Amino acid sequence: MNNLEWGSLGFHYRKTCAIVYSRYRDGQWSEPELTGDFDFRLNAFAGVFHYGNSCFEGLKAFRGRDGKVRLFRPDENAKRLQRSAARLSMAYPSEELFLKMCQMCVKANLDFLPPYGHNASMYLRPVLEGIDPQISICSSSEVLFAVMCVPVGTYAQAGALSPVSAVISRNYDRAAPNGTGSYKIGANYAMSLYPYNMAHSQGYTELLFLDPATKTRIDEFGSSNFIGIKGDTYVTPLSDSVLPSITNKSLRVIAEDLGMKVEMRPVPVEEIAEFDEVNACGTAVVITPIRSIDDKPLLEGTEVSRSWAIPSGSVCGVKSRALYDRIRGIQDGIVEDSHNWCLEVC
């Protein structure tokens, strides 16, 4: 048994007991295997090293107040991984294999699953990589599928539901029009590192990207979807370059359960001024409230053309808190899972 301080985990890599992997070769997947060796031996010409033939997922397992272990909506992650892999012309595991390997990973690492009551969970990272050696640009014929995990606390350094500042990225995009922005592909995240680091160096926590075609509409934060609350209305952008967040999808249903109206539509930048609450949402962050947003013509410059102070200010908004409490309650097994989202592992 490890001696981790469950209440102060943060969101960092820690070595656990085992990972699960399967290889696709000659038209079929191998039986999943557990290994404690986290160093895979791959050919230096593997496609993933040269052309980025890789996609991944992120999901969480929770230990509930009743002691049961639950995965939150893993079937949705399986479908999204398949969609991303298809975009890369890669073989992908069936939903059955995906779920089996996620459960194997959780069970093999139960000592690293945080106990209930610490606002912590086990973060699972399924990853799909093209591994056959190649020099020409072509689809991978051999694929590695691995599921690994790490115990995590809150993503934001300030803590759960602590409002943060954001800045708009006008001269950098995370995805191209008609590109791969709506797929969970590794290269999309690599593309955002440079502007993200620049924003962080200026004291901002979040970076808000606009639609790459016109720069007039909100797309999403660097690694999270955008949510705006206006009265009793939940607003989130509809865009071909936004990753379809499973957390956002769940929160939209919860919002309707709570009597809110849900609008998924193009969101002009100017509409920020009309929102009572603004949040970033995703598996890692769940909900991160935004307290202010600056608009800069050039991210590396000092000029701020306009700023918005979000009315909810330095505290999480009332509606956002209700959404957070409901989704976390479902994940922890203390609120009825009326939509059958959770998969009980053990």
Query: How high is the pLDDT of residue 158?
Result: 58
**In this predicted structure, which of 2-16, 87-101, 243-257, 326-340 has the lowest mean pLDDT?**
2-16
Whole-angstrom distance, CA of residue 111 vs CA of residue 106: 9
Domain membership of residue 101 (yes or no) is yes
Same domain, yes or no: 117 and 224: no
Question: What single string gives the DSSP state of each residue in 25-64?
Answer: ETTEEPPPEEES-------TTBHHHHH--EEE--EEEEE-
One of 79, 107, 184, 296 is an active-site residue; which one?
184
Query: How high is the pLDDT of residue 28?
Result: 97
The CATH number covering residue 294 comes to 3.20.10.10
**Mean confidence (pLDDT) of the chain:** 95
What are the pLDDT digits (tens) for 265-285? 999 999 999 999 999 999 998
Domain membership of residue 337 (yes or no) is no
Domain final position from 152, 185, 215: 152
Confidence of residue 160 (pLDDT cuts 50, 70, 90): confident
Domain membership of residue 70 (yes or no) is yes
Q: How far is CA 39 from the centre of its chain?
A: 24
Domain membership of residue 340 (yes or no) is no
Question: What single string gives the DSSP state of each residue in 103-142?
Answer: HHHHHHTGGGSPPTTSS-EEEEEEEEEE-SB-SSS---SS
Same domain, yes or no: 131 and 173: no
Same domain, yes or no: 125 and 45: yes
Same domain, yes or no: 187 and 104: no
Domain membership of residue 235 (yes or no) is yes
**In this predicted structure, which of 33-42, 50-59, 97-106, 182-191 has the lowest mean pLDDT?**
182-191
**Residue 69 in tokens:** 């272990």
Same domain, yes or no: 168 and 279: yes
Same domain, yes or no: 181 and 148: no
Of residues 187 and 142, more confidence is placed in: 142
The CATH number covering residue 87 comes to 3.30.470.10
Question: What single string gives the DSSP state of each residue in 221-233?
Answer: ESSSEEEEEETTE
Query: How high is the pLDDT of residue 3?
Result: 81
Same domain, yes or no: 141 and 210: no
Percent above pLDDT 90 for the chain = 93
Cα separation values, 240 from 85, 217, 315, Å: 17, 12, 32
Is residue 215 flagged as an active site residue?
no
Same domain, yes or no: 232 and 284: yes
Same domain, yes or no: 33 and 104: yes
Average pLDDT over residues 200-214: 96
Average pLDDT over residues 289-309: 97
Q: How many domains does the chain have?
A: 2
pLDDT at 83 over 70: yes
Domain final position from 92, 118, 152: 152
Same domain, yes or no: 17 and 138: yes
Domain membership of residue 343 (yes or no) is no
Give the closest residue to 109 by CA, choosing from 19, 205, 244.
19
Same domain, yes or no: 120 and 235: no
Query: How high is the pLDDT of residue 5?
Result: 92
Same domain, yes or no: 220 and 118: no
Q: How far is CA 280 from the centre of its chain?
A: 11
Q: Which domain holds residue 96?
A: 6-152
Average pLDDT over residues 227-231: 98
